């Protein structure tokens, strides 16, 4: 997997309230575009296999359950380093394959570090995930502790009330503080789009977080009633594209929550390719937050290789 050697990490560019307040999203147009993507015929055969392998490379393999244990996280990490069986790897002509990262709670960073030993990024959810309702001081300290424990990426949650009340300065200041606390660790800003009510709010929150230096913008915690959707993804990726055109900074995108089938993963890959281009189809600019998705991708790849589907329970679960 090669990355763009000219890649420049996003930095805070200052809050332009005039621009943010002028943002309007055409909901009907977004829905029509989303429907056209959903109804399109997907890629088949060797092309589908290649796209599914790319989905694996761009996956944040995730466990965020209240019943997580060190043993479960260790299994997750082993799966992340070897997501496909050796026979499938050989049949597909792959010498090596890993997911983009693993994503865990703070308390599970240590067992992840023990297994991965720097071979894959460790993303930790932070800032009072998933609701984000604790003091700023507490959330900043949580980030600092996760980075010290070995997390190389921090998935923060924004304070939704700042969006819902239109307090863009407060959201910007919060995001700047999170970015500073992360230091060299990259920060993904979770917008919790299912809580933001309108696509206008999604677009504005995307812009404010990017202006404040977010490395990625991410749809959801996976805990909201509505998580990643194609219309929301269109709004967020188009914000990323226009931000790049205005600033020269490439910001990554991460749909999360409900992306559980190979078919849905292909839809998000299509959005990235058509809205942002091939440069964004790399793990440093695209991630899929998922837990059960790996099982369906492995089943689809096995069908491509053997011509038969196996039961989901035959595939290793983290």
**Distance (Å, whole) CA 131 – CA 287:** 22
**Distance (Å, whole) CA 85 – CA 220:** 30
Rg (CA), the chain: 19
Per-residue pLDDT, 311: 67
Query: Is 85 buried (19+), middle (13-18) or exposed (0-12) by CB count in 10 A?
Result: middle
63 phi and psi angles, rounded to 5 deg: -135, 120
**Distance (Å, whole) CA 185 – CA 122:** 10
- Residue pair 210/251 in contact (Cβ under 8 Å)? The answer is yes
Q: pLDDT 10s per residue in the chain (318 long)?
A: 344 546 799 999 999 999 999 999 999 999 999 998 877 767 889 999 999 999 999 999 999 999 999 999 999 999 999 999 999 999 999 999 999 999 999 999 999 999 999 999 999 999 999 999 999 999 999 999 999 999 999 999 999 999 999 999 999 999 999 999 999 999 999 999 999 999 999 999 999 999 999 999 999 999 999 999 999 999 999 999 999 999 999 999 999 999 999 999 999 999 999 999 999 999 999 999 999 999 999 999 999 999 887 766 665 555
Per-residue pLDDT, 308: 82
Residue appearing with tokens 């923060």? 156
Question: Catalytic annotation on 273?
Answer: no
17-305 folds as TIM Barrel (3.20.20)
Per-residue pLDDT, 317: 57
Per-residue pLDDT, 310: 72
**Strand ranges, E, within 38-100:** 59-62
**Distance (Å, whole) CA 251 – CA 215:** 5
Per-residue pLDDT, 38: 75
60 phi and psi angles, rounded to 5 deg: -90, 95
Question: Catalytic annotation on 279?
Answer: no
| 24-63 residue pLDDT tens | 999 999 999 999 887 776 788 999 999 999 999 999 999 9
**Strand ranges, E, within 14-107:** 59-62, 101-104
Per-residue pLDDT, 175: 98
Per-residue pLDDT, 318: 58
Sheet holding 288-290, edge to edge: 252-254, 216-218, 186-190, 153-157, 122-125, 101-104, 59-62, 288-290
Question: Catalytic annotation on 215?
Answer: no
Per-residue pLDDT, 314: 63
Give me the catalytic one of 79, 139, 204, 254. Answer: 254
153's enclosing H/E stretch is strand 153-157
The residue extents of the domains of the chain are 17-305
- Residue pair 70/78 in contact (Cβ under 8 Å)? The answer is no
Per-residue pLDDT, 39: 76
* Three-state helix/strand/coil letters over 88-112: HHHHCCCCCCCCCEEEECHHHHHHH
Give me the catalytic one of 79, 139, 155, 296. Answer: 155
Pairing relationship of beta strands 186-190 and 101-104 according to DSSP bridges: unpaired
Per-residue pLDDT, 1: 38
> How many C-beta atoms lie closer than 10 Å to residue 199's C-beta?
21
């Amino acid at each position: 997997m090669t990355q763009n050697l000219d890649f420049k990490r996003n930095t805070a560019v200052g809050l332009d309230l005039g621009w943010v307040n002028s943002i309007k999203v055409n909901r009907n147009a977004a829905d029509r575009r989303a429907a056209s993507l959903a109804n399109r015929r997907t890629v088949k055969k060797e092309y589908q296999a290649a796209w599914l392998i790319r989905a694996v490379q761009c996956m944040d393999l995730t466990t965020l359950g209240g019943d997580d244990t060190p043993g479960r996280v260790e299994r997750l990490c082993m799966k992340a380093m070897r997501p496909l069986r050796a026979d499938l790897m050989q049949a597909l002509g792959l010498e090596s394959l890993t997911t983009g990262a693993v994503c865990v709670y703070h308390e599970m960073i240590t067992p992840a570090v023990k297994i991965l030993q720097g071979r894959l990024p460790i993303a930790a959810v932070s800032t009072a995930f998933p609701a984000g309702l604790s003091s700023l001081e507490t959330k900043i300290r949580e980030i600092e502790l996760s980075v010290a424990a070995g997390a190389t990426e921090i998935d923060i949650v924004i304070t939704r009330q700042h969006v819902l009340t239109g307090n863009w300065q407060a959201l910007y200041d919060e995001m700047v503080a999170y970015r500073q606390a992360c230091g060299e660790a990259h920060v993904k800003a979770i917008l919790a789009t299912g809580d933001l009510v309108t696509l206008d709010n999604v677009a504005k929150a995307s812009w404010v977080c990017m202006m404040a230096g977010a490395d990625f913008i991410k749809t959801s915690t996976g805990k909201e009633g509505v998580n990643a959707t194609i219309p929301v993804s269109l709004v967020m990726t188009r914000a990323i594209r226009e931000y790049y055109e205005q600033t020269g900074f490439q910001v990554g995108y991460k749909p999360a929550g409900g992306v559980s089938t190979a078919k849905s993963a292909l839809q998000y890959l299509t959005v990235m390719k058509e809205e942002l281009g091939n440069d964004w189809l790399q793990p440093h600019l695209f991630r899929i937050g998922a837990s059960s998705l790996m099982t369906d991708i492995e089943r689809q790849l096995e069908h491509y290789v053997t011509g038969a589907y196996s039961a989901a329970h035959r595939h290793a679960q983290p």
